[in-house]
Chain A
Amino acid sequence: MTIPVGAFIGVSAVLFFLGVAGVLIRRNAVVILMCVELMLNATNLALVAFSRRAGLPDERGSVFVVFIFVIAAAEVAVGLAIVLAAYRNRPTVDVDEVHAMKG
């Protein structure tokens, strides 16, 4: 118990904001999906840290980590399907060039 829970939350915050930065600044749609996965994983770390260190008899936080695993798998499957459908329409994964539905 030498590492305080704040250190885990700090790592989680840094990883989350790296993911935010990646989503905001990258153009490649596949890389944007990867950065969303990084953000979800940062959330998992925070949930597990709180869940393990809270001293509760059950693992309520870790249950939500399992749900986030499910959401992440669904998100990456549907996201890649959308990217592939857009790529088949026009061979690019640059989100700046996919603007057929732009008003």
Chain B
Amino acid sequence: MSSEIIEQALFALLTVGIIGAAAGVVFLNRITGAALLMAFTFFCMAGMFLLLGAETIAAFQVLIYVGAITVLILYGVMFTPQGDRDYRLFFQTQTPWAALFVVPIAIFVFVTALFAFRDSGNAGALGSDLGPLATSVFRDYAFPFEVASVLLLAAMIGAIVLVKRDED
């Protein structure tokens, strides 16, 4: 019984961390702060994966998102310095229209998600996820996995070509 209470408390804490930090990313006017809050969102998401019993995905999440992607974004912030601006200039002129369309759809999807899956999908996790994940990746999805690595190579070459200076 006490482990259930701890689980629920952890879930509530991680939810507050994820939603609060993501709202900070959207509404904060300091871009470095937004990048660090994004890293915090990813870290809390790793906790969420642990809560679901997906330890391998949680480890990947910390390595790739909290490590690599946050560093990339921080480099992007450092390479594009901006002067101080009025806070209202951080938002597009289409903000009211965007809110008008996003908020009703968001509420609909949220309510649907919360109630549609109330009684389903509680079959329970089957221990660690490393074995099944490795089986799936390297047997059933071996070819898409290789295609994904080619995609990464293409993205790397594309990024180098895009930012290369024309010296000659």
Task: Produce 1/0 per residue, B63-86, CB < 8 A to A.
Answer: 011001100110111011010000
- Most chain B CB within 10 A, of A45, A65, A73, is at A73
B69 in contact with A72 (CB, 8 Å): yes
A27 pairs with B92, CB closer than 8 A: yes
Closest to B106 in A: A17
From A7, A9, A11, A33, contact of B76 by CB (8 A): A33
Q: Is the CB of B122 within 8 A of A31?
A: no
Give the CA-CA distance A74 to B160 in the complex, in Å.
12
CB <8 Å contact, B113 and A55: no
Which residues of A lie under 8 Å from residue B95 when comparing CB positions?
Answer: 24-25
The residue that B73 contacts in the complex, of A8, A59, A80, with Cβ under 8 A, is: A80
Q: Binding site of A, secondary structure by majority: helix, strand, loop or mixed? A: helix
Contacts of A52 in B (CB 8 A): 52-54, 125, 129
Residues of A within 8 A of B116 (CB): 6
Chain A 69-90: CB-based contact to B (< 8 A → 1; otherwise 0):
1111111111011111101100
Considering the complex, give the chain A residue whose CB is closest to the CB of B27: A22
Number of interface residues of A (CB under 8 A): 76
Instruction: Using CB atoms and an 8 Å cutoff, list the residues of chain B in contact with chain A.
Output: 4, 7-8, 11, 15, 18-19, 22-23, 25-26, 31, 34-35, 38, 41-42, 45, 48-49, 51-54, 56-57, 60-61, 64-65, 68-69, 72-73, 75-77, 79-80, 82, 89-95, 98-99, 102, 105-106, 109-110, 113-118, 120-126, 129, 132-133, 135-137, 140-141, 144-145, 148-149, 151-152, 154-156, 158-160, 162-163
Could you list which residues of chain A lie within 8 angstroms of chain B, going by C-beta atoms?
1-22, 24-28, 30-31, 33-35, 37-38, 41, 44-45, 48-55, 57-60, 62-63, 65-67, 69-78, 80-85, 87-88, 91-93, 96
